[in-house]
Chain A
Amino acid sequence: MEVQKTALYNYHKNLGAKFVPFAGYEMPIQYKDGIVKEHISTRTHAGFFDVSHMGQFFLEGDETLIESLEKIIPADLKNLKINHSKYSFLLNNEGGIIDDLIITRTEKGFCIILNAACKENDIKQISQFLKKHHKHLLNNNLSLIALQGPKSVEILEKLIPGVANLKFMTGNNFDYEGENLYVTRSGYTGEDGFEISISNTKVEKLIDYLISNEVKPIGLGARDTLRLEAGLCLYGHDLNEKINPVEANLKWAIAKKRKEVGGFNGWEKIKNLLANGSEKIRVGIKPDGKVIARENTKIFSLDNNEIGFVTSGTFGPSVNAPVAMGYVKSEFSEVGTSIQLEVRGKKYGGKISELPFYKKSYVK
């Protein structure tokens, strides 16, 4: 498959981006300032992220659309209000996570934001449950820009009046340059911020404005350190088709009503896990020293039994220490439990930690 580029590719190039292949796209991993400065400027001012490689999947239909989607998504879509969003997932028959996603109720149906690497398969999986009269479209004419950081609201409100009134995980339509924009108050960094769905033809103009307000471009490198500090999962690393939401410590994302009534893929298995707990579970991990426990680092108990593995690990610039997430046997999952991490053949001490590592500041 040919490598794809987002509408902002040349713009990133002019900003001095270093590119890497990611999910079939050429994406900026960092810009001139480097990952740590990009990370800090997002936490202290604001940064923008081109996340146009993610799928913006629109669905239209009547009440039966909700029934169809609820077979594969364990959110309470019936009671989801228009312009409200939920974090959820697509589940397979074993309750494994096909993808994690954000679903928003629109006037005509739903919009689902899908991970770039998964979007083609996701649409196949969702389509199995759709009726002939349900319409769907993966809109590649739209870019998606995340604006994240404490100054985001002040900066975006000047350009698009009204966005300041949005609460966390809600959205609305706004007018920009005579065109319709859909803006949600959301993101994946642990900061207040917005995600802006905007036509490919207008996106450069929006970025010009953000840059003139000292919003820095942020690459995938800092996106990863920011989301890990915020305790958020990265699909393909912390989540995959063999991991279910209970193991992933994401049972909060299954709607209360759906936990009781079920009716979605893998429900029998998940019901059982909700009642009895899972054998392994996702936890936060803090190495004691400066050593970085990266993906696939083996985790041992103090008496040297292998008890799990790391799925994401890096240096957290705001925590100013290494941070990691991984799966351990449930009996070792209590916060404060001492563990050992095997890095380059040597065992280093560490502890099970609370998530997030960095406290969120969402506007509720």
Chain B
Amino acid sequence: MSEKKFSKKHEWVSLDGDVATVGITKHATEMLGDIVFVEVPDAGKAVEKEGQAAVVESTKAASDVYSPISGEITEGNKAIADDPGSVNTDPEGASWFFKLKIKDKGEYDSLMSKDEYDKFCKENPS
């Protein structure tokens, strides 16, 4: 597994060969609050970079989850759809959202490093 990279929309990506794993960041879960519903994409679905790929809902509101990278979905994490609260407890580990076969590694390379992301969050509090 490669190092995690991060998007401005608070998703993380790790890469294993040409298969990327995508989830939402701990910072994102803290902003959302208690997560009570998750919808993940089915295998075979094509997603564009920054295109809508999944849905996450807290007690307060529904939000879209975007794919920071384009490709074809190979798996959605059914475990988090069954237990949405697990996203609050382990967002950057077991509670990933989906895996996809990527087309362009350049898209991954252009995302933020952990340090860059932490700095981005500090500069853009919401």
Contacts and interface: CB of A to CB of B under 8 A. Distances in A.
Q: Which of A292, A322, A344 has the most C-beta atoms of chain B within 10 angstroms of its own C-beta? A: A292
Contact of B59 (A225, A290, A291): A225
A317 B57 CA distance: 14
A35 B60 CA distance: 9
A316 to B, nearest CB: 9
A221 interface: yes
A291 B37 contact: yes
Contact of A221 (B37, B39, B59, B84): B59
Interface in B43-64: 55, 57-60, 62
A349 to B, nearest CB: 15
Contacts of B39: 291
A125 B62 CA distance: 37
B55 A322 contact: no
Contacts of B59: 35-36, 221, 225, 314-315, 317
Contact of B62 (A29, A34, A292): A292
Q: Which of A291, A315, A317 has the most C-beta atoms of chain B within 10 angstroms of its own C-beta? A: A315
A30 B62 contact: no
Interface in A14-40: 29-30, 34-36
B37 A30 contact: no
Contacts of A216: none
A344 B55 contact: yes
A56 B34 CA distance: 33
A294 interface: yes
Contacts of B60: 29, 35, 221
A239 B60 CA distance: 20
B33 A34 contact: yes
Q: In the complex, which range does the number of interface residues on chain B fall in?
A: 10 to 19
Nearest to B64: A344
Interface string A288-319: 00111010000000000000000000110100
A35 B37 CA distance: 15
A291 B81 CA distance: 10
B36 interface: yes
Interface residues of A, number: 16
Contacts of B34: 34-36, 315, 317
Contacts of A322: 36-37
A344 B57 CA distance: 12
A292 B37 contact: yes
B97 to A, nearest CB: 15
A35 B33 contact: yes
B86 to A, nearest CB: 13
Interface in B65-98: 81, 84
Interface string B23-35: 0000000000110
B33 A292 contact: no
A175 B33 CA distance: 40
Contacts of A292: 36-37, 57, 62
Contacts of A36: 34, 36, 59
A29 B61 CA distance: 13
B81 to A, nearest CB: 7
A315 B81 CA distance: 14
Nearest to B58: A35
A227 to B, nearest CB: 13
B33 A290 contact: no
Contacts of A290: 36-37, 81, 84
A238 B55 CA distance: 26
Interface string A334-359: 00000000001000000000000000
A229 B33 CA distance: 19
A225 B58 CA distance: 12
B60 to A, nearest CB: 6
23 contacts: A29-B60, A34-B33, A34-B34, A35-B34, A35-B59, A35-B60, A221-B60, A290-B37, A290-B81, A291-B39, A292-B36, A292-B37, A292-B57, A292-B62, A294-B62, A314-B59, A315-B37, A315-B57, A317-B34, A322-B36, A322-B37, A344-B55, A344-B62
Interface of B: 33-34, 36-37, 39, 55, 57-60, 62, 81, 84
4 tightest Cβ-Cβ pairs between the two chains A and B: A315-B36, A36-B34, A35-B59, A292-B37
